Amino acid sequence: MPRRSWEKKLKWAKTMNSEPNGLENAKGERLVTSANRPDGAIDSAQIRQQVRDVFEI
């Protein structure tokens, strides 16, 4: 995702009291983010583990 697009979405999330990979907001919502590897690929195993960690499953 282009940097400007990400920055716009991050700004919107903060207006909803959500921080990337932070705690739940007052509505019980949580923003979980991931990043591509430097070569542009995704690490699906890392993303699965991140989801398990964040949601304690």
pLDDT of residue 41: 92
The answer to whether residue 16 scores a pLDDT higher than 90 is no
Confidence of residue 13 (pLDDT cuts 50, 70, 90): confident
Tokens at 52, concatenated: 């398990």
- How many other CB atoms are found less than 10 A from the CB of residue 48? 10
State which residues form the domain around 24: 3-55
The answer to whether residue 14 scores a pLDDT higher than 70 is yes
Domains identified in the chain, total number:
1
pLDDT in tens, 22-32: 888 888 888 88
Task: Quote the DSSP letter at residue 4.
Answer: H
Residues 17 and 45: their CA atoms lie apart, in Å, by 28
pLDDT in tens, 36-55: 888 989 999 999 998 888 88
Tokens at 14, concatenated: 């903060």
The answer to whether residue 3 scores a pLDDT higher than 80 is no
